[in-house]
Amino acid sequence: MINLRISLLVITAATMLMLAMKQSVSAFGPALTRRTFFASPTILTLIASPVTLQSFASPKSVEHALTNPATTVLDARQVDEILEYGFLKTDRQWVNAACTLQECPLLEVAAGSLILNKKAPVVVYCSSGKRAAKAKQVLESKGYTTVLNAGPLSGLDYLDYSLVK
């Protein structure tokens, strides 16, 4: 029993080290047999780019940005998600540029055509805030100066706008 606990501890420590180093790590498992662990690209992506609640813009800053007529609202979700859950109805320019956790292909190619004013605020949202964070990163790399990650659509209930389905 003690050997099993020690083995599990070694495996857990090796896994944590592997994730921190982003490569394979060898460890000795039960019965002192050598085990090699590999991190999957999905796990590494999630660990390499964590999104926390602190990365979301404050409700006040989102509300303030939406008072500006030049603000663009960017939905980073896929079309099927928009059809199923609706979108934020606003009187500001609304753009859909579907993103993944790794890339935002439409923004990479056509951000300048979708959002003309790089100095105007851009409020970005998705289902959880993670793809919005990626969209924010891409827009900032393209020179947009005021990009706000508003987080998940479900968390925008503090706004006076309604959802359209």
More confident residue, 92 or 24: 92
State mean pLDDT over 58-86: 95
More confident residue, 122 or 160: 122
At 90 the pLDDT is 87
Residues in contact with 70: Cβ distance below 8 Å, sequence separation at least 6, in sequence order? 117, 120, 121
State mean pLDDT over 75-84: 95
Q: pLDDT exceeding 70 applies to what percent of the chain? A: 65
Instruction: Scan for tokens 């006040």, then name that residue.
Output: 60
88 close to 161: Cβ distance less than 8 angstroms: yes
pLDDT exceeds 80 at position 35: no
Q: CA dihedral in degrees (15, 48, 88, 62; nearest 10)? A: 120
**Distance set, CA 25 to CA 28, 49, 62, 134 (Å):** 10, 21, 44, 29
For the chain, the domains span 2-48, 53-164
**Distance set, CA 33 to CA 28, 29, 75, 92 (Å):** 5, 6, 50, 62
pLDDT exceeds 80 at position 92: yes
Number of neighbouring beta carbons within 10 Å of residue 15: 15
Instruction: Give 53-164's CATH code, choosing from 3.40.1170.20, 3.50.4.10, 3.90.1150.10, 3.40.250.10.
Output: 3.40.250.10
Instruction: Scan for tokens 């099993």, then name that residue.
Output: 4
- Kindly indicate the confidence band of residue 142, based on its pLDDT and cuts at 50, 70 and 90: very high
For the chain, what is the mean pLDDT? 78
At 55 the pLDDT is 83
More confident residue, 17 or 79: 79
At 109 the pLDDT is 96
Tokens at 50, concatenated:
């964590």
List the one residue out of 10, 63, 50 whose CA is nearest residue 32: 10
